[in-house]
Amino acid sequence: MPEDLSPDYTEGPEPLVVALARTGDRDAFAELVRRRERWLRLLLWRCCSDRALADDLAQQAFLQAWEKLRQLRDPARFGPWLKRLAINGWLARLRSSDALAAPVEAFDELTDAPAMGRPSTTTLALDLDAALTTLAPAARTCVVLAYHEGLTHDEIAAMTTLPLGTVKSHVRRGTQRLKQLLNAYEDPSVHSQEAVR
Amino acid sequence: MSDEYDRDPLLMQLFHAASDAPAAEVDEPFVERVMARLERRQRRAWALRLVVGVALAIIAIPLQDPLELLADYLLSPLIDAQSGFGRVFFSPMSSVGAVLSVVLLGVQWLLRRRER
């Protein structure tokens, strides 16, 4: 197709691009990948603390999304639907290693506290990610879904199929642990500006 | 003080600030890897369909005679209607295959009624 006749998806609203991708338009789907890759990879990286694994999980989620796109009834719900595919992929990985079913108490003091430098906006993201690595996989997943995605306990329980009480316990303990490690950021002036990666 | 979902305000602020970094450029190599994997998967699916189709065609050769016998049996008339009118009138029940179809439709209807 001549360049001047090829469709430009970069300006279109996401539901429209999703609708086009559902017809088998690969360029439209590539645009969806462009729009969502950074957000999805960051979410998965926060859950699994492993960049290579997060990238692999994100790729698998996109591939599943392509195969199941016709099952998505509302194109406007593409983001939450993709997130569910990605988190399910991560949870399947956890289940295969029994990490999801381990009792909450088994993960107390799982790892040593990472070295934290002087808090600043430039180190905030790094310190937050380092603190998250000290949580066990199941707890980290619950904490990330609660704080990064703003899900309620019930929503997290539904997504992870963990008992509600376990989710609440993970979020509570994870919160305590993170606050312990990040207490230097309680000074509002440190994190009031945008963090720079 | 946490909110009703046990979320700490400080952590909420930190997560928000850490995620609110300046918009990075799209990682085009990552996008290309995803699309390349997608293409490979589709090619594998088509290759599998081709292999299954060829396998079925090969398997069907020795089954051709039994299948022809089955087709002849299903088409064999139950009611020997000589006249054109008779043939048309009895056509829904005039062969084994037709009777089988009616029976299967009846079973399907009954099952649907039970589901309701």
Q: Give tens-digit pLDDT for A152-183.
A: 999 999 888 889 999 999 999 999 888 888 87
Which residue is associated with the tokens 């979902």? B5
Produce one character per residue of B27-56: b if its CB has 16 or more CB atoms within 10 Å, e if not. Answer: eeebbebbbeebeeeeeeeeeeeeeeeeee
Which residue is associated with the tokens 């990879």? A41
Is pLDDT at A53 greater than 90 in this prediction?
yes
- Quick check: A88 and A158 in contact, CB under 8 A? no
The answer to whether B11 contacts A195, with C-beta atoms less than 8 Å apart, is no
Question: With an 8 Å Cβ cutoff, is B24 touching chain A?
Answer: yes
10-residue block means of pLDDT along chain B (116 residues)? Answer: 69 79 76 94 93 90 85 79 68 77 90 78
Residue A4 — pLDDT band, cuts 50, 70, 90?
very low
At residue A101, the pLDDT reads: 59
At residue A55, the pLDDT reads: 94
The answer to whether A26 contacts B35, with C-beta atoms less than 8 Å apart, is yes
Residue B99 neighbours by CB distance under 10 Å: 14
Task: Tell me which of B38, B40, B42, B44 to substitute to probe the interface with A (most A C-beta atoms closer than 10 Å).
Answer: B38
Q: Looking at the whole model, is its pTM more than 0.90? A: no
Q: What is the mean pLDDT of residues A62-89?
A: 92
Within 95-134 of A, beta carbons closer than 8 Å to B belong to 121, 124-125, 128-129
Is pLDDT at A35 greater than 60 in this prediction?
yes
Burial (CB count <10 Å: 0-12, 13-18, 19+), residue A137: buried
How far is B94 from A37, CA to CA, in rounded Å? 62
Count Cβ–Cβ pairs < 8 Å, chain A vs chain B: 97
**CB nearest to A194's CB, from B10, B15, B21:** B21
- Residues in A closer than 8 angstroms to B33, CB to CB, are 59
